[in-house]
A and B are shown apart, each in its own frame.
Chain A
Amino acid sequence: MFKELIRVFEYREMLFHSVRKELRVRYKGSVLGFLWTFINPLMQLVVYSFVFNSIMGARAPEGVNYTLMIFVGLVPWTCISSTINQSANAIIGNGNLIKKIYFPRLILPLSLTLTNMVNMLLTGIIVFAACFVLTPNPPLTWTYVFLPIVFVAVFLLSFAFAVLLSAITVYFRDLEHIFAIITMVWFYLTPIIYPIDLIKSRSWVSPTVLTIYKLNPAYGIVDSFQKIILYGKIPDWMHLGYVYAFSLVLLFIALFVFDRCQRRFAEEI
Chain B
Amino acid sequence: MENQESPVVIKVRDVRKHFRVYSDKSVTLKERIIHFGRTKYTVHDVLRGIDLDIRKGETVALIGQNGSGKSTLLKLLTGIIYPDDGTISVNGKISSLLELGAGFHPDFTGRENIYNNASIFGLSKKEIDRRYDKIVAFSELEEYIDNPVRTYSSGMYMRLAFSVAINVNAEILLIDEILAVGDANFQKKCMDMIRHLKRKGVTIVLVTHDMGAVERICDRAVWLVDGLIRKQGKTREIIDDYLMDMDEKADVISRKEKVRVAQEAAEEAKASGEPAPEVIEEKEPEEKEQGIVEYDDAGVKCRWGNGDLLIQDAYLEDKNGMPCTMVTAGQPLAIVLEYEAKNPLESLVCGIAIKNMTGDTCVATNSDLRHIPLPIPQTGEKGAVRIRFPRVDLAKGTYSIDIAAHSIEGTPYDYQKERLSFLVSATYTDVGIYAPELEFRLTAEVLAVGTPE
Contact = CB atoms under 8 A, between A and B. Distances in A.
A binds B: yes
Contact of A13 (B27, B75, B123): B123
Contact of A29 (B78, B107, B124): B107
Given A17-B116, A101-B120, A267 B81 contact: yes
A174 interface: yes
A100 B27 contact: no
Interface of A: 10-14, 16-18, 21, 24-25, 28-29, 96-103, 171-175, 178, 263-264, 266-267
A257 B244 CA distance: 49
A74 B119 CA distance: 34
Contact of A98 (B20, B80, B115, B116): B80
Given A172-B27, A173-B28, A263-B82, A97 B103 contact: yes
Nearest to B117: A17
B431 interface: no
Given A14-B119, A103-B120, A266-B81, A172 B32 contact: yes
A96 B105 CA distance: 12
Contacts of B115: 17
A99 B75 CA distance: 9
8 contacts: A11-B119, A14-B120, A21-B116, A25-B105, A29-B107, A100-B102, A172-B32, A178-B29
Contacts of B29: 172, 174-175, 178
Contact of A12 (B30, B118, B124): B124
Given A25-B105, A29-B107, A101 B80 contact: yes
A97 B128 contact: no
B235 interface: no
Given A10-B122, A172-B32, A100 B80 contact: yes
Contacts of B96: 101-102
Given A25-B105, A173-B28, A174-B30, A99 B80 contact: yes
A103 B79 CA distance: 8
A50 to B, nearest CB: 37
Interface in B197-235: none
B433 interface: no
Contacts of A175: 29
A17 B80 contact: no
B38 to A, nearest CB: 16
A96 to B, nearest CB: 6
B27 A173 contact: yes
Interface residues of B, number: 33
Nearest to B95: A102
Given A13-B122, A101-B96, 16 more contacts: A10-B122, A11-B119, A11-B122, A13-B125, A17-B115, A17-B119, A21-B108, A28-B107, A97-B120, A100-B80, A101-B78, A101-B98, A101-B99, A102-B94, A172-B28, A172-B29
A267 B80 CA distance: 9
Interface of B: 19-20, 27-30, 32, 75, 78-82, 94, 96, 98-99, 102-103, 105, 107-108, 115-116, 118-125, 128
Chain A interface secondary structure, helix, strand, loop or mixed?
helix
B80 A266 contact: yes
Nearest to B100: A100
A103 B96 CA distance: 11
A111 B122 CA distance: 15
Contacts of A100: 80, 98-99, 102
B79 A102 contact: yes
A263 B263 CA distance: 52
Nearest to A176: B28
B122 A103 contact: yes
A196 B55 CA distance: 66
- Chain A CB count within 10 A is highest, among B81, B105, B108, for B81
Contacts of A10: 122
Q: Which 9 interchain pairs have the tightest Cβ spacing?
A: A174-B28, A100-B99, A13-B119, A14-B119, A172-B29, A102-B79, A263-B82, A100-B102, A173-B27
Nearest to B25: A268
Given A97-B103, A267-B19, A16 B119 contact: yes
A23 B251 CA distance: 57
Nearest to B33: A172
A158 to B, nearest CB: 23
A28 B109 CA distance: 14
Nearest to A268: B27
Given A172-B32, A263-B82, A21 B105 contact: yes
Contacts of A28: 107
B19, B29, B125 — most chain A CB neighbours (10 Å): B29
- Which has the most chain A C-beta neighbours within 10 Å: B75, B80, B96, B125? B80
B122 to A, nearest CB: 5
A13 B98 contact: no
Nearest to B30: A174
A12 B120 CA distance: 9
Contacts of A97: 102-103, 120
A29 B82 CA distance: 39
Contacts of B80: 98-102, 266
Contacts of B128: 13
Contacts of A16: 119, 125
Nearest to B118: A13
A220 B39 CA distance: 43
Contacts of A102: 78-80, 94, 96
A263 B75 CA distance: 12
A11 B102 CA distance: 16
A14 B28 contact: no
A102 B78 CA distance: 6
A12 to B, nearest CB: 7
Contacts of A266: 75, 80-81
A13 B124 contact: yes
A28 B118 CA distance: 22
Nearest to B17: A267
B221 to A, nearest CB: 24
Contacts of A178: 29
A157 B128 CA distance: 33
A28 B80 CA distance: 31
B107 to A, nearest CB: 6
